[in-house]
Structure 1
Amino acid sequence: MKLLHYKQEYIWLKVLVISILFLGIYFRFINLDGKVYWNDEVYTSLWLSGHPSTEIVDKFYHGEIVNVGMLKQYQQINSAQGVSSAITRLAIEDSQHPPLYYILAWFWSAWFGNSVAVIRSLSALISVLSLVSVYYLCRELFTSSLTRWITVSLIAISPFHLLYAQEAREYSLWTLTIIVANYTILLALRKKTLLSWVIYTISLILSFYTFLFSIFVVLGHGIYILGINGFKKTPSLIAYLLSVTAAIVAFIPWLIVIYQGKISGRIQRLDWITEATSLPAFIGRWLLNITRIFLDWVIINENTPFKTIIWLIPFTLALIVLIGYGLYYLYCSTPKTTWLFIFTLTLTTAISLIIPDVIFGGRRSVVVRYLIPTFLGIQLTVAHLLASKLVAIQSIKWQNIWRLITIFIISCGVISGVIISSADIWWNKGTANNLRLNQVAAVINQTSQPLLVSDAKFPSILGLTHIVNADVNFQLTTQPQNLVISQVKDNLFLFYPSRNLRLYLSVNYNLEPIYIGKKQVFGLWKIQAVNQRN
């Protein structure tokens, strides 16, 4: 009788997680073109086009009127120049981003087009491949097939993974290469064949050429091998060192590019990473980031009222307890080869980022996208805990408690996915949270042949070009005193101006804030002649 009940529960759970899997795939592809194309994504398109970023300013920021179509041309690939133009532009402007994702994105755009939906769909597809890959990783780690399915379902509806599955950057590809590298190291350690170690080496090369912090994942693999075999000169350790050495040698060409960019000053400065952060803010951001793995219902930043997030505190505390218990249960219920691997995956990257923050100051470890390996380790831990407790022989009371916990966690992910998929902006869009480009576009798209005057930085301008009508024109400048507005009509707007531009225009024109309902549209004013004032 107990065996029949177990099988019925098991089948019900598999049906549930497979349904969640399809829902997660749906969330990845829905509304791809409805979200703000923010600054980082603009740089992606600009690099793929092969145009220097300075060319935008040099050509268009002189006060002449230009149509939106002219600006959009600078975000489209040039097939005649080939993919080498994109690699060259990336190497010159921001070589700290390795080129693998951008090579794939260039060919993707060449085949399918340059629209926002197309370029983001590459990340969505890669994220789906991660779901397949993590299933095979779980096959190496766990004997229970239910653990594999729950892991896949948790990642499928994780709001964190959903956000980066819809962003034209390399982070979904990094997630995939992390999973593949972890799977291939376990495969190589189990099979101990030359081919398996060659496959592992290739996975490391791909991961290095996707994101620099892959080195922390590789470091975790070394710690794992030493933890299993001790400080002995074993064949596995030698093979690992040879694989890592080969991968680093293969990555040397891009390391040279990074070095050249650093000494020439071309690499973008990351001063925001080294900004001082208080200990309470540091801990708060860490807890918030962990929460975002499973639940993300509202945009939370430094301006969010406390009453808006107070409900999140008990959930966060409960989640920390659940993760802590999950790590303890993982240690007690799995062989050392499993729990040590997940521990190193979870902790190596996090500790490697926390130590510089503690010693030198900064906030590297609270940049959520840098913590993808840690988040994957946490999800593996929680999935193992839930799967084990759901099918373990225990009292009906505890069966029901763990069933409710599982349903609650899955429901949090589903609700988060529904909210995020329909939103035009979220916390991962950086400064776009303030610009509210979709609100600006909604206003100017209701006007016939509008003209936007601005001295805003070009990523904001180019991001706006994807969501405005074809009849929108821009008048851009870097020197407000040289700006000449020939005629003031009802279709003239001021977009996200500097203080100097606002002061210059306010002398001769009336700048009228624009509202949607009772709320002012941030960064947008109507320009009127002085004699039009009421």
Structure 2
Amino acid sequence: MGKSKVYLVLILILIVALLLRVYNIDAKADGTDEKWSFIMTDQIVDGTFLQNVGTHAHVPLFYVFLAPFWWLSGKSILVLRLLMILLGLISIIVTFFFAKKIFNEKIALLTAYLLALSPFHLIYSQHIRAYALLMIMCIGAIIIMMKYLKDEKIIGLIGLTAIYIAAFYIHMFAAFFVFAQYSIFLVLKITKETKIKIKPIIISGIITALGWALWIPFFKEQYNLNITQGAIKTITTLNPIHVPYTWYKYAVAMDFSYALKNHFSVIILAVGLVGLAIYGLYKIWKTGKKEFIIMAGNVALPVVFLAAIGIFFPVYSFRYVSYLVPLFMMLVAKSLIEIQNAKVRYTALTIITIIWLIVLKVYWSVFIEYKWGLEFAI
């Protein structure tokens, strides 16, 4: 396929993604924790965020990002939703170029298509929380990481360090993605899959830690409220089933209990998509150890690190690693393209599309209601 045709198809995919995301968007009821986005952004606008920091568990940068749109629009929730949709579309574009870089155009286009129709990605592209922005930042960080591994230009490491610091101040749990990135550098060095010098990575880690350390005085106040005083009521310590449930949610978004009762085909599809993602990792491992370490590390380690902390503290939720869904869809796309029989491949893609549209139909039928999240539990 020629370059112009590739980008034409991408544009068509983005148009479809946009239409699916703006459908009835002005009627959408608030989702999980969105009220905090409005409260925190109000505090940024009023200049009271830091003085109230001990009454919540939030870091400021995402709300600083929202603040001018919130203020200039006269506190329009619709404007913020449209902004999230824009971020969701940008995340599709960034993921397309990442998949194109490490795989090929076919896998890149299929990844974009899957993200465009993915109920999980669609919902989080409308959700006024930090996750759509983190998708862009994390995929961007992986792209920069791979470039740095190739050329060792210091500007790349400076950019990575800046992203690592900023990501923490957008959502505190993005720290687990950063831990994963530094772990990947270490594993690549130990396994001799890279010849980069380790000293610049250590310096980057120190600078990142110092950047995060500025929040320690505020974190102490937040820890006292949320952990010591037990203000967190909606999340418990880790149940082992929560970990694989994360990939189930990436696959279909719908709450498992609701799907089990009303749409069993959704569960079957989820199992199939998770299987395809695992097979995609296997195929990457067969073709390149370095690429496998990078891909597996980024898609799995943030979940593992969050789960490890979740054993001791009530912090684990799939939503805190929702920014990894583009990587999940890349693995699914990789597996689908690996299917040699075209009829089987297109049949599988058709089934995925149909069941996802069924999920979206359910979503659109309930998202205008208060507590619509009972069916999707985002």
Aligned to 2:167: 207
Counterpart AA for 1:112:
S
Asked if 1 retains the 8 angstrom alpha-carbon contact of 2:54 and 2:221, the reply is no
Q: CA 1:132–1:252 in 2, change beyond 3 Å: closer, same or farther?
A: same
Question: TM-score, normalised on structure 1?
Answer: 0.62
Instruction: Output the CA distance in 2 between the equivalents of 1:20 and 1:417.
Output: 17
Measured against aligned partners, the alpha-carbon deviations of 1:321-361 in whole angstroms (never above 9, x if no partner) come to 323322222222x322222211101210222233345x548
Aligned to 1:407: 350
Aligned to 1:354: 307
Aligned to 2:86: 125
Counterpart AA for 1:40:
D
**Which of these two proteins has the greater Rg computed from alpha carbons?**
1
How many residue pairs are counted as aligned between the two chains? 375
User: Are residues 1:343 and 2:296 paired?
Assistant: yes
Q: CA 1:252–1:14 in 2, change beyond 3 Å: closer, same or farther?
A: same
Counterpart AA for 2:155:
L
| Aligned pairs for 1:180-259 within 5 A | 180-230=140-190, 235-259=196-220
- 1:33 is paired with a residue whose SS is helix
Counterpart AA for 2:34:
E
- 1:270 is paired with a residue whose SS is coil
Asked if 1 retains the 8 angstrom alpha-carbon contact of 2:73 and 2:79, the reply is yes
Instruction: Output the CA distance in 1 between the equivalents of 2:10 and 2:353.
Output: 9
Instruction: Output the CA distance in 2 between the equivalents of 1:424 and 1:301.
Output: 17
Shift of 1:240: 2.2
Q: CA 1:276–1:209 in 2, change beyond 3 Å: closer, same or farther?
A: closer
Q: Give the number of the structure whose residues are more often strand, by fraction.
A: 1
Asked if 1 retains the 8 angstrom alpha-carbon contact of 2:92 and 2:116, the reply is yes
Asked if 1 retains the 8 angstrom alpha-carbon contact of 2:96 and 2:111, the reply is yes
Q: CA 1:164–1:433 in 2, change beyond 3 Å: closer, same or farther?
A: closer
Work out which of the residue numbers 325, 328, 340 in structure 1 matches 2:282: 328
Instruction: Output the CA distance in 2 between the equivalents of 1:288 and 1:87.
Output: 34
- 2:172 is paired with a residue whose SS is coil
Instruction: Output the CA distance in 2 between the equivalents of 1:386 and 1:432.
Output: 29
Instruction: Output the CA distance in 2 between the equivalents of 1:241 and 1:84.
Output: 39
Q: Which runs of 5+ in 2 are unaligned?
A: none
Shift of 1:107: 0.9
Shift of 1:423: 3.7
User: Are residues 1:21 and 2:14 paired?
Assistant: yes
Measured against aligned partners, the alpha-carbon deviations of 1:429-468 in whole angstroms (never above 9, x if no partner) come to 657999xxxxxxxxxxxxxxxxxxxxxxxxxxxxxxxxxx
Q: CA 1:198–1:433 in 2, change beyond 3 Å: closer, same or farther?
A: closer
User: Are residues 1:88 and 2:53 paired?
Assistant: no
Aligned to 2:332: 382
Shift of 1:33: 2.4
User: Are residues 1:145 and 2:99 paired?
Assistant: no
Question: TM-score, normalised on structure 2?
Answer: 0.84
Asked if 1 retains the 8 angstrom alpha-carbon contact of 2:119 and 2:252, the reply is yes
Instruction: Output the CA distance in 2 between the equivalents of 1:230 and 1:428.
Output: 48
Q: Which runs of 5+ in 1 are unaligned?
A: 1-6, 51-81, 435-534
Work out which of the residue numbers 132, 154, 161 in structure 1 matches 2:121: 161
Instruction: Output the CA distance in 2 between the equivalents of 1:273 and 1:260.
Output: 19
Shift of 1:387: 3.0
Instruction: Output the CA distance in 2 between the equivalents of 1:179 and 1:426.
Output: 33
Shift of 1:117: 0.7
Instruction: Output the CA distance in 1 between the equivalents of 2:181 and 2:355.
Output: 32
Asked if 1 retains the 8 angstrom alpha-carbon contact of 2:81 and 2:128, the reply is yes
- 2:294 is paired with a residue whose SS is helix
Instruction: Output the CA distance in 2 between the equivalents of 1:301 and 1:425.
Output: 21
Asked if 2 retains the 8 angstrom alpha-carbon contact of 1:140 and 1:187, the reply is no
Shift of 1:108: 1.0
Aligned to 2:248: 291
Shift of 1:309: 3.9
Q: CA 1:337–1:231 in 2, change beyond 3 Å: closer, same or farther?
A: closer
Asked if 1 retains the 8 angstrom alpha-carbon contact of 2:118 and 2:356, the reply is yes
Aligned to 1:53: none
The percent of aligned pairs where both chains have the same amino acid is: 20
Measured against aligned partners, the alpha-carbon deviations of 1:284-343 in whole angstroms (never above 9, x if no partner) come to x555543333435xx5365x48542433343333333323322222222x3222222111
Instruction: Output the CA distance in 2 between the equivalents of 1:418 and 1:312.
Output: 13
Asked if 1 retains the 8 angstrom alpha-carbon contact of 2:45 and 2:67, the reply is yes
Asked if 2 retains the 8 angstrom alpha-carbon contact of 1:322 and 1:382, the reply is yes
Instruction: Output the CA distance in 2 between the equivalents of 1:291 and 1:265.
Output: 28
Aligned to 2:41: 48
| Pairwise CA RMSD | 3.5
| Aligned pairs for 1:411-490 within 5 A | 411-421=354-364, 423-425=366-368, 430=373
Q: Which structure has more RCO (C-alpha within 8 Å, separation ≥ 6)?
A: 2
Aligned to 2:62: 101
Instruction: Output the CA distance in 2 between the equivalents of 1:205 and 1:305.
Output: 39
Q: CA 1:211–1:39 in 2, change beyond 3 Å: closer, same or farther?
A: closer
Instruction: Output the CA distance in 1 between the equivalents of 2:189 and 2:101.
Output: 18
Aligned to 1:483: none
Counterpart AA for 1:219:
F
Asked if 2 retains the 8 angstrom alpha-carbon contact of 1:216 and 1:349, the reply is yes
Q: CA 1:153–1:87 in 2, change beyond 3 Å: closer, same or farther?
A: farther
